[in-house]
Amino acid sequence: MAKSGRLVLLADTLLALYRNMARIRAVEKRLVQSFQEGLISGDCHSSMGQEGVATGICQHLRANDLLFSPHRGHGHAIGKGMPLTQLFGELYGRVTGCCQGKGGGRNLLSQEIGLLGSSGLLGATITEAVGAGIAIQLERSDRVVVAFFGDGAALHGRFHEGINLAAHWKLPIIFVCENNLYADQTKFEDLTAQSRVSLRGRAYGLHGIDVDGNDVTAVYEEAYEAVRIARVGDGPSLIECRTYRARPFVEGLEEKPARPLSERDEWLGNDPIVKFASKLLDADHASAAEVAAVEKEVVQEVLQAHRDAVEAPFPNSNSAETAAAE
Ligand SMILES: Cc1ncc(C[n+]2csc(CCOP(=O)(O)OP(=O)(O)O)c2C)c(N)n1
Ligand SMILES: [Mg+2]
């Protein structure tokens, strides 16, 4: 059992958090390799390094809660429960993909798991979540919506319009800014005089929270409170998670001269999974054997999903004009 501020986390919860982060990491590692092997014909925006955010947030969501994800959304889809065969199938353009291979990695969608779409249009998740939040408010249920977005999206008009309306109408939304310090190749601080996104949330009257996105239990704890507030009808929150991507903006992109090596070394030395594993072991929340078993299990799971996707057929050209998902 671990006391993380206001919450007491049981060993099972801690191990579930670890498993989910390890699963996302194993998927991202395999996808990087697959991109290099030419198995992915579209874009591959890896979320490696940011696993603590997707995990700490999604672990609170129920099957019928809704989620909108931006271009860097593999971890969000996994956190919301997308079977890995569907994720790999989609990235490899196969019929087994969540959108029958027609969407690719930045257009993941599965109504079954409440993932109502990932989108390459910056800020789209924010206003889409507002629409979904209004629908939930009208149905008077206690479902919630999560909108993930990057720091770059916080500079767009949709951010301001969306969070203003959400706060004013007390919509059941958790806005999650994954602030990985860069919007594509540009440092976020070079684009704005106020780089604390959470403060902008507070300016619009919603709960604005800052958290270390590389500390999964800290994210989990803040998300617990934000989800609770949204479920009881007390309105939206904006959680800003500071984190760092371990890979370039998109696979295949030369990363020069954007991110200084010293900065990268410092952040990559603060890896959320390595850090959490040591925490679990040091505090005796899990044994080395349990951690190793989780690692082995997720690697096997990923290998199987990869193999299934490689063996699956590409969509038939006759299906080009039918909707991938309705
Ligand atoms: C409306 C819009 N404007 C510009 C772009 C081009 N674009 C794609 S990704 C990106 C930067 C994204 O940065 P951020 O939101 O911080 O996400 P990250 O890639 O860091 O996860 C930009 C400017 C876009 N996709 N949509
Ligand atoms: Mg960014």
Using pLDDT thresholds of 50, 70 and 90, give the confidence band for residue 8.
confident
E strand segments, the chain: 2-4, 7-9, 66-69, 115-118, 145-150, 173-179, 182-183, 186-187, 207-212, 237-242
* pLDDT tens-digit map of 175-223: 999 999 999 999 999 999 999 999 999 999 999 999 999 999 999 999 9
Q: Which atom of ligand 1 is nearest to the CA of 180?
A: 20
182, 249 Cβ separation under 8 angstroms:
yes
Assess contact for 113 and 86: CB atoms under 8 A: no
Q: Is residue 234 part of a domain?
A: yes
Domain count, the chain: 1
Tokens representing 142 are: 């206690």
User: Distance between CA atoms of 110 and 115, rounded to whole angstroms?
Assistant: 5
**Domain assignment present for 267:** yes
Any ligand 1 atom below 6 A from CB of 213:
no
- Is 96 a pocket residue for ligand 1 (Cβ < 6 Å)? no
Classify residue 160 as exposed, middle or buried by CB count within 10 Å of its CB (0-12, 13-18, 19+). middle
CA 153 to ligand 1 centroid distance, Å: 6
Q: What is the mean pLDDT of the chain?
A: 95
120 lines ligand 1 (CB under 6 A): yes
With respect to residue 318, please indicate whether it lies within any of the assigned structural domains: no
Ligand 1 site, residue 152, Cβ cutoff 6 A: yes
Lookup: tokens for 101: 């291979």
Would residue 129 count as lying in a domain?
yes
Query: For residue 317, is it within any domain?
Result: no
**CB 243 near ligand 1, within 6 Å:** no
In a domain, 298, yes or no: yes
Q: Residue 308 sits in which domain range?
A: 2-312
Exposed, middle or buried, 192 (CB in 10 Å: 0-12/13-18/19+)?
middle
Is 325 contained in some domain?
Answer: no
pLDDT tens profile 81-92 = 999 999 999 999
Separation between Cα atoms, residue 222 and residue 46, nearest integer Å: 24
**What is the spatial order of strands in the sheet that 207-212 belongs to?**
115-118, 66-69, 145-150, 173-179, 237-242, 207-212
Q: How far apart are CA 170 and CA 164, in angstroms?
A: 10
Residue 252 CA to ligand 1 centre (angstroms): 17
**CA 238 – CA 322 distance, rounded (Å):** 37
pLDDT tens per residue, range 216-248 = 999 999 999 999 999 999 999 999 999 999 999
Residue 53 sits in a domain of what CATH number? Answer: 3.40.50.970
Dump pLDDT digits (tens) for 113-169.
999 999 999 999 999 999 999 999 999 999 999 999 999 999 999 999 999 999 999
Residue 326 lies in a domain: no
The reported pTM is: 0.96
